[in-house]
Amino acid sequence: MFSLIAPHGGRFVNRFLEGSDRERVSELIPRLKKVVLKDWEISDLYMIASGGFSPIEGFMCKEDYHSVIDNMRLKDGTVWTIPVTLSVSADEAKKIKDGESVGLFDKGGDALGILEVEEKFSNNREKEASGVYGTQDKCHPGVLRLYEKGDVLLGGRVSVINRPKYDDFKEYRLDPIDTRRLFKEKGWKRIVGFQTRNPIHRAHEYIQKCTLEMADGLLIHPLIGETKKDDIPADIRMECYKTLIENYYPNDRVVLSVFPAAMRYAGPREAVFHALVRKNYGCTHFIVGRDHAGVGNFYGSFDAHYIFDEFNPEEIGITPMFFDYTFFCKQCGCMASYKTCPHDAEDHISLSGTKVREMLRAGKTPPKEFSRPEVANVLIESYKSKS
């Protein structure tokens, strides 16, 4: 029997408590100081506990936090590009001592788990903004969220007794251990992961099907955690993915599962982060497109490709698959990219996101060379219901 790719750092983390350990912590929590988590922190807590953020076992302590910002590595040298932190206000922090445990709750008052507070330290927003996002401009949604965090960060290992309550996408909420088991059952050895926060259009389909020519299977893994307000809602995106797979993909070679993490919009650093996390889900390869995880004009079109050159392939462990800007070429008569098409831009059918949204609002179907009609219909109905 073959083995799947090793989790990042060589060790798969599981911080969900069961049995007597869960009972003990459940009895303890009501007596602890309470910390209420924001939605994106709940997403991070789940990702830590499920092993999605392996080898991380909790919210980062000071050395790891600064090492990630400065060197894109944990303090032990393991590649990691995005800080994973829990913040509280200065007043809350004064009531919490190093070495004590605090209860972690959602905003509805339900207990999620505990944090063993190893240390408290200052939230260096300016340094994190510049180092991770490349800007301190609050027009950047990731930077804006960063400045909404509390002044003090709590670092330490977490233990989770209750999963966050989600009523949506239940059949698609697969933990890393679930996708790994599924891939093994299918006999897949070469698995390509695809990250998306947008509805899939023909360019995405082209890229995915190119990789399917070389792989055993494809994990379409749409991010459904917190995104910026003008992104297409997750339920609409999921309907698009399901429609596309049902009509145009070999069902036995594609797995659709949701990715519960929050979107950072950190461009190049988030591209590496997304790759490492998909390794924990069992993927051996990861698609990195143009302006991966970018927003506005904060990053160059291919910065997310170049950043991988800063690491040895062995320490990343998952193989990135880089794709150029793709489009439908009228001369070629098919989907193509600048790597494969010799024709001028006037022969390329490619629409901006703004133009597509204008067409959808007007009830107009984008050209079939840009979007499958079935997918466009899902989006048009969504815009009609909003109106």
Q: Among the three residues 117, 133, 160, which one is the final residue of a domain in this structure?
A: 160
Q: Is the torsion defined by CA of 322, 328, 331, 334 positive or negative?
A: positive
| CATH number for the domain that contains residue 68 | 3.10.400.10
- 208 and 183 inside one domain: yes
20 and 113 in a single domain? The answer is yes
CA distance 49 to 54: 9
For residue 383, give the amino acid letter. Y
The tokens describing 212, both together, are 């399917």
106 half-sphere exposure, CB direction, 13 A CA radius: 17
Q: Give domain status of residue 167, yes or no.
A: no
- 85 and 130: one domain? yes
Domain shared by 20 and 112, yes or no? yes
Active site residue 372: no
Domain around 150: 8-160
Same domain, 103 and 196: no
- Do residues 114 and 44 make contact, with C-beta atoms less than 8 angstroms apart? no
If phi > 0 it is left, if psi is from -120 to 50 it is alpha, else beta; for residue 282 that is left
Band of residue 387 on the pLDDT scale cut at 50, 70, 90: low
Structural domain count of the chain: 2
155 in the same domain as 181: no
pLDDT digits (tens, 9 = 90+) for 303-337: 999 999 999 999 999 999 999 999 999 999 999 99
Rg of the chain on CA atoms, in Å:
21
The answer to whether the beta carbons of residues 122 and 153 sit under 8 Å apart is yes
The answer to whether residue 166 sits within a structural domain is: no
User: What string of DSSP letters covers 329-357?
Assistant: ETTTTEEEETTT--S-GGGEE---HHHHH
Supply the CATH number for residue 373's domain.
3.40.50.620
- 149 and 177 in a single domain? The answer is no
State residue 1's pLDDT score: 61
CB 244 within 8 A of CB 209: no
Mean pLDDT across the chain, nearest whole number? 95
Helices (H), 38-140: 39-49, 62-71, 90-94, 125-128
**Do 119 and 250 fall into the same domain?**
no
Are 20 and 47 in the same domain? yes
In a domain, 2, yes or no: no
Which residue is associated with the tokens 């679930």?
Answer: 178
Residues 229 and 287 in one domain: yes
- Among candidates 240, 244, 237, which has minimal Cα distance to 259? 237
Same-domain status, 305 and 246: yes
**pLDDT score for 238:** 94
Domain membership of residue 1 (yes or no) is no
Q: Specify if 165 maps to a domain.
A: no
For position 178, what pLDDT does the model report? 98
Which position among 157, 197, 202, 278 bears the catalytic label? 197
The half-sphere exposure of 112 on its side-chain side, counting CA atoms within 13 A, is 27
Asked, for residue 291, whether it belongs to a domain, the answer is yes
Active-site residue identified among 14, 71, 162, 198: 198
Asked whether residue 269 falls in the same domain as residue 137, the answer is no
Averaged pLDDT for residues 133-160: 97
Assess if residue 51 is contained within a domain. yes
User: Is 71 one of the catalytic residues?
Assistant: no
